Amino acid sequence: MVVPELGPWRAARPHVVRIANAVRPRLARAVAAAKPRVARLARAGKPQVTPRSKTWHHTAVAATAGLALAAGVVTAAGPWDSSGQRTAERDRAAALARAGGADHGRAPGAPARPRPAPSAGPVLTGLGGVSTVKSAPDGKALANALTPLLNDPALGPRPAAAVVDVTTGRHLYGTNPDAALPPASTTKIATAVAALSAMGADHRLTTRAALEPDTNEVVLVGGGDPTLTAREAIDGWASLRVLADRTAATLAQRGVREVTLSYDTTLYAGTQKHPIGANPNLALVSPLMADEGRTNDSSSGPATRVTDPAADAARRFRDFLGSRGIKATDPGLSKATTRAKTLAEVSSPPLSALVERMLTNSDNDIAEALARQTAIATGGRGDFAGANRAITAQLRKLGLPVKGAAFKDGSGLNRAGRLTANLLTALLTKAADPAHPELRPALTGLPVAGFTGTLTARYTDGAAGVVRAKTGTLTGVNALAGTTVDQDGRLLAFAFLANNTTDPDAAQKALDKAATTLARCGCQ
């Protein structure tokens, strides 16, 4: 599962201009259709939310209001700035004051670490809610457009697909939509929704240093933050160096210059090794790690990992303390007592930012951490089995169709996992539900076709900038699930699952062609 890195935005500007010209007509139609609704909303003041139904279907009334305003921003701000960023995304994100800035990483050996690219704002996801002129695509016309593409032999003998109108929750198309198939990394959409619903978008993960009373034992307590970094450039993530700064300062105030150093990993239970075994796609699942245990300076994609992430982080912490005047012993495994007093702590960015980074980069380490955090937050055991139960329970609590689903991890690396196309589209639709704003990062974190994360090098023509989707790839498995805006400005959620594929490149192209066709389809 090689994750393509994000190229420099400025270098992409010529391509961006071409895409802007391609999508400008549909933006204009959407804005024109939105004007009456925006005027009514301005008079009404507070949007009214339609009561939730007992099923996962819903009407995104309040979403329509915000999305209509988002479409207006596109026209008012102009499509692109000089750096190649959509200006509407930048301005809208600032207006919403939402956390973003997913770290898209860099390739091993690159000369300089790029600044985090701005996470795609809700502009593209929003256009579907503003169309009041055109109705949703006709199911028969949609079937005529998609069925021949999904019958491509490259997608295996029995692909599954579902398309839903996000505004109404109405199913528009399906082929084997309830077939439970290996979903690969599209599993991360379910992990995102479960974690956000269990902990909230503002939740943070904290790593701390504690001092045992009447001793000079300092315990580094892992809080399950997979984004903790030991690097000098922290880019907004929690820093082990900063924790050492604060710990050393507090110890110095107490006149302590020598300590016994221990580290605590008891937040998680069970085995740390993923069922697939040692793999460059993820480290051991530990509540204490720095830079995901990577042995190079990468921040995404496969990399050789240290054999013990927790011990490695503790040794780094010891070295940082030493450079700050605190002599520490070689660290040993321990458990902080309830009497231990916190000396210092550092916290991750909000959960919304972690979810965005996980989805954009298809980050397996974050996915497994959030799965276990979901279990812990809901009173379960922080191991693989507990995480799987917790994800299922959270989705069921949200009224989502979990029949046939089987969660075996949070990342989708386990081939025994099963999801349905109906569940994936239901997850995406639920994330747009105005009654669940805490779930929105499950949409805003999706890679943007031709621009970010795992879709950077895909959709160089056609649906670039219009499709946002999570990819899924294992040997013999290809999947794609996300959202797109069709020619009439309707926001559609889709999921395509293909198994027993023999040519991954051909399967990927077939899925991209189906998504592009959906984006180009008025299908009335």
* DSSP codes of every residue in 334-352: E---TTPEEEEEEEPSPHH
The string over 464-498, giving b where at least 16 C-beta atoms fall within 10 Å of a residue's C-beta and e elsewhere, is bbbbbbbbbbbebbbbbbbbbbbbbbbbbbbbbbb
Largest CA distance in the chain: 77
Q: Give, for 523, the enclosing helix (H) or strand (E).
A: none
C-alpha–C-alpha distance, residues 255 and 400, integer Å: 56
Helical segments of 214-350, H only: 240-253, 309-322
C-alpha–C-alpha distance, residues 417 and 405, integer Å: 8
C-alpha–C-alpha distance, residues 202 and 196, integer Å: 9
Q: How many CA atoms lie within 13 A of 5 on its CB side?
A: 17
> Would the pTM of this model clear 0.85, i.e. be above it?
no
Instruction: Tell me which of 14-28, 163-177, 406-420 is least confident.
Output: 14-28
Name, in order, each residue with C-beta under 8 angstroms of 52's C-beta and a sequence gap of 6 or more.
58, 433, 435
Name, in order, each residue with C-beta under 8 angstroms of 301's C-beta and a sequence gap of 6 or more.
2, 3, 5, 105, 107, 361
C-alpha–C-alpha distance, residues 458 and 450, integer Å: 5
Q: How many CB atoms lie within 10 A of CB 82?
A: 9
pLDDT of 214: 87
CA-to-CA separations, 17 to 81, 117, 145, 229, 515, in angstroms, rounded: 10, 18, 28, 36, 21
Pairing assessment for the beta strands 327-328 and 258-264 based on DSSP bridges: parallel
Instruction: Tell me which of 10-19, 72-81, 323-332, 345-354 is least confident.
Output: 72-81
pLDDT of 523: 73
Mean pLDDT calculated for residue range 5-15 = 42
Query: Is 70 exceeded by the pLDDT of residue 126?
Result: no
The set of catalytic residues is 185, 188, 362
Mean pLDDT calculated for residue range 314-324 = 98
Instruction: Tell me which of 31-45, 81-95, 355-369 is least confident.
Output: 81-95
pLDDT of 462: 74
pLDDT of 135: 64
Query: Is 80 exceeded by the pLDDT of residue 95?
Result: no
Residue 374, classified by CB atoms within 10 Å of its CB into exposed (0-12), middle (13-18) or buried (19+), is: buried
CA-to-CA separations, 485 to 29, 449, 464, 467, in angstroms, rounded: 12, 12, 11, 7
Instruction: Tell me which of 36-45, 60-69, 74-83, 321-330 is least confident.
Output: 74-83
Encoded tokens for 405: 């689903």
pLDDT of 365: 98
Name, in order, each residue with C-beta under 8 angstroms of 217's C-beta and a sequence gap of 6 or more.
211, 259, 260, 261, 262, 334
